[in-house]
Amino acid sequence: MDRRRADFDTFVAASTDSLMRTAYLIVGDLQDAEDLVQETLLKVAGRWHRVRRMEHPVAYARRILVNRALNDAGRRTRRRRELTGEALPDRFDDTDEPLAFDAHDELLKVLATLPTRQRTAIVLRYFLDLPEAEVAAAMKCSLGTVKSTAARGLARLEQALRTTNDKRSIST
Amino acid sequence: MTEQLEAEVRAALHERAAQVPAARIAQLTHTDYHPRTRRLGPPRRVRPPLAIGALTTAAGTVGAVAVIVSLTAGASNAFAGWTAKPTPPAPGQLAGARASCETSQSPISGLPLKLADTRGPYTFAIYADSNSSAACIKGPSFVAVSASVASSAVNVPAGQILLSTSHQTDRGGDGYSFADGRTGAGVSGVTLTLDDGTNVQATVGAGWFVAWWPGGHPIKSAELTTPTGIVNQTFNLSPEIPCHLAPRCSSSVSDVGGGGPAAGGGTSVSGFASGGGEVQSGSVQSSSRSR
Q: What pLDDT score was predicted for residue B234?
A: 82
Binding-face residues of A in 125-154 toward B, CB within 8 A: 126-127, 129, 154
Q: Which of B65-69, B81-85, B118-122 has the lowest mean pLDDT?
A: B65-69
Q: Is the pLDDT assigned to residue B105 strictly greater than 90? A: no
* SS3 of residue B133 by DSSP: strand
Residues of B in contact with A153 (CB under 8 A): none
Q: Are A111 and A161 in contact (CB under 8 A)?
A: no
Q: What pLDDT score was predicted for residue B91?
A: 78
Kindly state the helix (H) or strand (E) to which residue B255 belongs, with its residue range.
strand B252-256
Residues of A in contact with B33 (CB under 8 A): 8, 12, 38, 41-42, 44-45
Position A81 confidence tier, pLDDT thresholds 50, 70, 90: very low
Q: What pLDDT score was predicted for residue A20?
A: 94
Residue of A nearest to B15 (CA): A104
Q: Do B24 and A103 touch (CB under 8 A)?
A: no
Which candidate from A12, A82, A127 shows the least CB-CB separation from B13?
A127
Q: Is the pLDDT assigned to residue B93 strictly greater than 50? A: yes
Please give the Cα distance from B99 to B169 (Å, whole number): 24
Residues of A in contact with B17 (CB under 8 A): 21-22, 24-25, 127
Q: Do A38 and B276 touch (CB under 8 A)?
A: no
Q: Is the pLDDT assigned to residue A124 strictly greater than 90? A: yes
- Smallest Cα distance from B142 to chain A, Å: 8
Q: Is the pLDDT assigned to residue A64 strictly greater than 80? A: yes
Please give the Cα distance from B211 to B177 (Å, whole number): 9
Q: Do B8 and A103 touch (CB under 8 A)?
A: yes
Q: Do A78 and B276 touch (CB under 8 A)?
A: yes
- Smallest Cα distance from B115 to chain A, Å: 22
Q: Are B141 and A76 in contact (CB under 8 A)?
A: no
Across residues A95-115, what is the average pLDDT?
67
Higher-confidence position of B287 and B203: B203
Please give the Cα distance from A39 to A27 (Å, whole number): 14
- Smallest Cα distance from A92 to chain B, Å: 9
Look at phi and psi of residue B207 and say left if phi exceeds 0, alpha if psi is from -120 to 50, else beta. left
Across residues B249-274, what is the average pLDDT?
26
Q: Do B11 and A25 touch (CB under 8 A)?
A: no
Q: What pLDDT score was predicted for residue B243?
A: 30
The residue among A35, A94, A135 with the most chain B CBs within 10 A of its CB, best to mutate, is A35
Instruction: List the alpha helices (DSSP H) in chain A.
Output: 3-27, 30-46, 48-51, 57-84, 103-113, 116-122, 132-139, 143-171
Which distant-in-sequence residues (6+ apart) come within 8 Å of A63 by Cβ? A137, A138, A140
Binding-face residues of B in 161-180 toward A, CB within 8 A: none
Q: What pLDDT score was predicted for residue B100?
A: 78
Read off the pLDDT of residues B175-191 as tens digits, 9 standing for 90 and up: 777 788 888 888 999 99
Mean pLDDT, chain A, whole residue set: 80
Q: Is the pLDDT assigned to residue A95 strictly greater than 70? A: no
- Smallest Cα distance from B278 to chain A, Å: 8
Q: Is the pLDDT assigned to residue B274 strictly greater than 80? A: no
Predicted TM-score (pTM) of this structure? 0.46
Binding-face residues of A in 7-46 toward B, CB within 8 A: 8, 12-13, 16-17, 20-22, 24-25, 30-31, 33-35, 37-39, 41-46
Position B166 confidence tier, pLDDT thresholds 50, 70, 90: low
Kindly state the helix (H) or strand (E) to which residue B29 belongs, with its residue range.
helix B22-29
Position B257 confidence tier, pLDDT thresholds 50, 70, 90: very low
Q: Which of A95-99, A140-144, B91-95, B271-275 has the lowest mean pLDDT?
A: B271-275
Residues of B in contact with A13 (CB under 8 A): 29
Which distant-in-sequence residues (6+ apart) come within 8 Å of B286 by Cβ? B265, B266, B267
Question: Percent of chain B beyond pLDDT 70?
Answer: 55
Question: For residue B278, how far is the Cα from the chain centroid?
Answer: 20
Across residues B48-71, what is the average pLDDT?
32
Please give the Cα distance from B246 to B271 (Å, whole number): 10
Read off the pLDDT of residues B18-55 as tens digits, 9 standing for 90 and up: 988 888 888 888 777 776 543 333 333 333 222 222 23
Establish if B96 touches chain A: CB-CB under 8 angstroms. Answer: yes
Please give the Cα distance from B209 to B203 (Å, whole number): 5
Q: Are A131 and A99 in contact (CB under 8 A)?
A: no
Return the top range by mean pLDDT from A11-20, A37-46, B46-55, B126-135. A11-20
Q: What pLDDT score was predicted for residue B175?
A: 72
Q: What pLDDT score was predicted for residue B285?
A: 24
Q: What pLDDT score was predicted for residue A104?
A: 78
Which candidate from A75, A85, A104 shows the least CB-CB separation from B73?
A75
Q: Is the pLDDT assigned to residue B286 strictly greater than 50? A: no
Binding-face residues of B in 130-149 toward A, CB within 8 A: 140-141
Residue of A nearest to B36 (CA): A46
Which among A105, A100, A114 has a CA at the least distance from the CA of A150? A114
Across residues B190-216, what is the average pLDDT?
89
Please give the Cα distance from A1 to B243 (Å, whole number): 45
Q: What is the dihedral of CA A58, B119, B206, B270, to 10 degrees?
A: 90
Position B117 confidence tier, pLDDT thresholds 50, 70, 90: very high
Query: Is residue A16 classed exposed, middle or buried when 0-12, 13-18 and 19+ CB atoms within 10 A define those classes?
Result: buried
| B125 φ, ψ (degrees, to nearest 5) | -120, 140
Does the CA dihedral B218-B220-B225-B228 come out positive or negative? Answer: positive
Return the top range by mean pLDDT from A45-59, A122-136, B88-102, B123-137. A122-136
Q: Is the pLDDT assigned to residue B199 strictly greater than 80? A: yes
**B161-169/B252-256 β-pairing:** antiparallel
Across residues B59-64, what is the average pLDDT?
33
Position B101 confidence tier, pLDDT thresholds 50, 70, 90: confident
Please give the Cα distance from B189 to B194 (Å, whole number): 16
Higher-confidence position of B38 and B199: B199
In three-state form (DSSP H/G/I as H, E/B as E, the rest C), the secondary structure along B65-85 is CCCCCCCCCCCCHHHCCCCCC
Q: Roughly how many angstroms between the first and final C-alpha of chain A, as a whole number? A: 63
Q: Which of B146-150, B243-247, B269-273 has the lowest mean pLDDT?
A: B269-273
Q: How many CB atoms lie within 10 A of CB A109?
A: 17
Q: What pLDDT score was predicted for residue A18?
A: 94
Q: Are A88 and A80 in contact (CB under 8 A)?
A: yes
Across residues B245-261, what is the average pLDDT?
28
Q: Are B93 and B27 in contact (CB under 8 A)?
A: yes
* SS3 of residue A57 by DSSP: helix
Distances (CA, A) of B130 to B104, B127, B173, B228: 21, 11, 36, 29
What 8-state DSSP symbol labels residue B244? G
Please give the Cα distance from B66 to B48 (Å, whole number): 15
Residue of A nearest to B69 (CA): A83
Q: What pLDDT score was predicted for residue B86?
A: 92
Q: What pLDDT score was predicted for residue A31?
A: 82
What is the number of residues in chain A? 172
Residues of B in contact with A109 (CB under 8 A): none
Which among A114, A15, A115, A5 has a CA at the least distance from the CA of A63? A15
Strand order in the sheet with B175-183: B203-205, B208-214, B175-183, B161-169, B252-256
Question: Percent of chain B beyond pLDDT 90?
Answer: 9
